Amino acid sequence: MTGYGIAYMEIEKAKYTVEIKSLNSKFLELNLKLPRTFSDKELFLRNECTRLIERGKVNVTATVEYIDVAERPSRLNTALLQAYYKQLKELAFKFNDTPDNLLQVAVTLPDVITYDEELANDEEWAALSGAFFAAVTKFNQFRADEGGVLKADLAMRSKKLVELLTEVESRETNRIPLIRERISQYLDAAVGRENVDMNRFEQELIFYIDKLDITEEKVRLRSHCNYFLEALEDSNANGKKLGFISQEMGREINTLGSKANDAGIQQTVILMKEELEKIKEQLLNVL
């Protein structure tokens, strides 16, 4: 399920930001980016993501922005700065360029200023963890809002399947008599009624019609649809459960279509398959 959440927490010397984004995935694929000063907290945050987010291709990015840059522990490599500055002056002279602001350029070159990556103190960790949990709350609320829309759509399509099943039942009334009449006509045209052993014909006809009976499929499909609606109301994560139910619904619809032997019923079955495919597509977005 897609999701997004961002939160900020500020203390006297720094502002901490945690941003969480996710795309659909059957499992939790977590990409966690932290400032080095919080490297010892990575395992804790990963475990919390597993507990609170559960599934999805998730990117969690935590950043720190120092309000006063001077508050960030740093070190100036004066020897390297002098070497850079000297080389820049020589290049400026070589190319007949005006050596303006060379010191400013030299300061920005690699490794001139390095930052001490000490582990964060309790105050800093409290700020980052506060931003993290606030972002997770917003992230899950985003998911819940999207889930409400998906839930309504899935319930509507499941009820549509039940309506289509009712159409199948209404069409089924004359199905067996028509099949019986059609077979009788074939036999009359092929060998003549006087040459047919009617007792044997009735036995074979009963056996054949029994194989075309769709009562069990109708009962099971209606049961699966009702169970699907019940599972939608479950407050626990149930995307996989709904997926399993939809697979069973698909089996019953396929069997119903193959045994129908009726053009009208098969057209309705096609509509049922269309609705089921839409359900399966939506289930990819459900936890």
Digit-coded pLDDT (tens) for 199-252: 766 666 666 666 677 888 889 999 999 999 988 888 775 778 888 999 999 999
Structural contact between residues 212 and 179, judged by C-beta atoms closer than 8 angstroms: yes
pLDDT digits (tens, 9 = 90+) for 105-144: 777 777 766 665 567 788 889 999 999 999 999 999 998 8
Distances (CA, A) of 19 to 16, 60, 218, 241, 274: 10, 6, 48, 30, 38
pLDDT surpassing 60 at residue 175: yes
pLDDT of residue 221: 92
Question: Which pLDDT score, from 0 to 100, does residue 74 have?
Answer: 64
Residue pLDDT, tens place only, 17-58: 999 999 888 788 999 999 888 888 999 999 999 999 888 899
d(CA 111, CA 94) in angstroms, rounded, equals 25
- pLDDT for 41 equals 92
| Distance between CA atoms of residues 261 and 195, nearest Å | 27
Closest CA relative to residue 287, chosen from 24, 88, 111, 51:
24
What integer pLDDT is reported at residue 210 of this predicted model?
Answer: 63
Question: What proportion of the chain, given as a percentage, has pLDDT over 90?
Answer: 37
Domains in the chain (CATH in brackets) are: 3-70+120-141 (3.30.230), 74-115 (no CATH), 148-283 (no CATH)
Whether residue 77 has pLDDT greater than 90? no
pLDDT of residue 158: 93
Alpha-carbon distance 266 to 34, whole Å? 57
Q: What is the mean pLDDT of the chain?
A: 83
Q: Is the pLDDT of residue 163 over 70?
A: yes
Per-residue pLDDT, 144: 87
Q: Number of C-alpha atoms within 13 angstroms, CB side, residue 59?
A: 7
